[in-house]
Amino acid sequence: MKVKHSEIRLKGASICRGVAIGKPLFLTLTDDHVPEFTIPVRDIDDEISRYIHAVASSKEDLQRLLLKLKEERILEGAAILDAHLQMMQDPLFTTQVEQEIRNTRKNAEFVFHSLINQCQKKFQSLPDPFFRERFKDIQDISRRVMGYLRKSVRISLADLPPNSIVFSLELSATDAAEADVACVKAIVTEIGGMTSHAAIVAKAKGIPYVTDVAFQKIMNIDDDCIVIVDGRTGDLIFYPEKETLDAYVALQKELESQEGVLLKSRELFSETLDGYQVR
């Protein structure tokens, strides 16, 4: 017998407007233990080659996403990924890691992870929160590189089931760039801000986004429950009553209709009140 749940409402901070109705999908980003071992002298060049290949594969990913965003005319998001590609030219991602592998004879994962941690400490010591926030870009790149080094399976927002409401502790710019808007109906995070690069990309894609949500309150939510995300107000509604669901379905249709009118009007030329086109 199916248990009937009472409607649950939570309040977060609105990042991107819009209304979404779907089922929750919880993403967990875990930084597992990074192994440390010594590389035989004869294998050092091969270990460096393995690291170079991981960086090259990460660059290919970013270039693919960059082209995708340009095709979608999400130019601000494309500029962020272009900046990521430029950051990957920094010695931190190139000569510094290679030299450290030679000096310490340690495996690439351990060396890379250690250098990223050192970089994080430097960023955390900066007095300006804006610049501290920029470490998330380095973290975003490093997770992708580490995924190739460890051959781990990455969960991509491009491969999610339809009507997914994505719940993640935090989200990176490339995560948001990968999101397929046909399947990802909304994003909910515990950590995030209006100026984060993930927020900028999500806004450009028009994905409702709510942050500052206490995840400990929703750990027992069923995977097949219905969730409503109101990106206008920051409201989250789990197990909505029929009246609530009906009201939001109607609101969603109204907003989609308004969006359709706006999309048509954006192709029109700007005119003055007396009919002259503005060039």
Residue 185 has pLDDT above 50, yes or no: yes
What sign has the CA pseudo-torsion 261, 266, 269, 272?
positive
**116-155: pLDDT as tens digits:** 999 999 988 988 887 788 888 998 999 899 989 987 556 6
The residue extents of the domains of the chain are 8-29+160-265, 41-149
Q: Are 62 and 174 in contact (CB under 8 A)?
A: yes
Res. 103 pLDDT band, cuts 50 70 90: very high
pLDDT of residue 90: 92
Q: Which two tokens stand for residue 81?
A: 């990924």
* Lowest-pLDDT choice from 110-119, 184-193, 255-264: 255-264
Domain topology for 41-149: Enzyme I; Chain A, domain 2 (1.10.274)
DSSP 46: H
**Domain 8-29+160-265 shares a fold with domain 41-149:** no
Cα(105)–Cα(118) distance, rounded to whole angstroms?
Answer: 19
Cα(145)–Cα(177) distance, rounded to whole angstroms?
Answer: 17
User: Which residue would you say has higher pLDDT here, 128 or 166?
Assistant: 166
Mean pLDDT of the chain: 87
CA distances to 8, 164, 228, 276 from 225, rounded to whole Å, are: 11, 11, 10, 53
User: Which residue would you say has higher pLDDT here, 276 or 120?
Assistant: 120
Q: Which two tokens stand for residue 238?
A: 């789990």
pLDDT of residue 131: 79
Q: Are 55 and 111 in contact (CB under 8 A)?
A: no
Res. 234 pLDDT band, cuts 50 70 90: very high
Where helices occur in 105-196 by DSSP H, the ranges are 108-124, 129-133, 135-149, 173-178
* Strand 209-211 with 235-238, pairing: unpaired
Residue 268 has pLDDT above 80, yes or no: no
CATH class of 8-29+160-265: alpha beta
Residue 101 has pLDDT above 90, yes or no: yes
Residue 29 has pLDDT above 80, yes or no: no
Q: Are 110 and 101 in contact (CB under 8 A)?
A: no
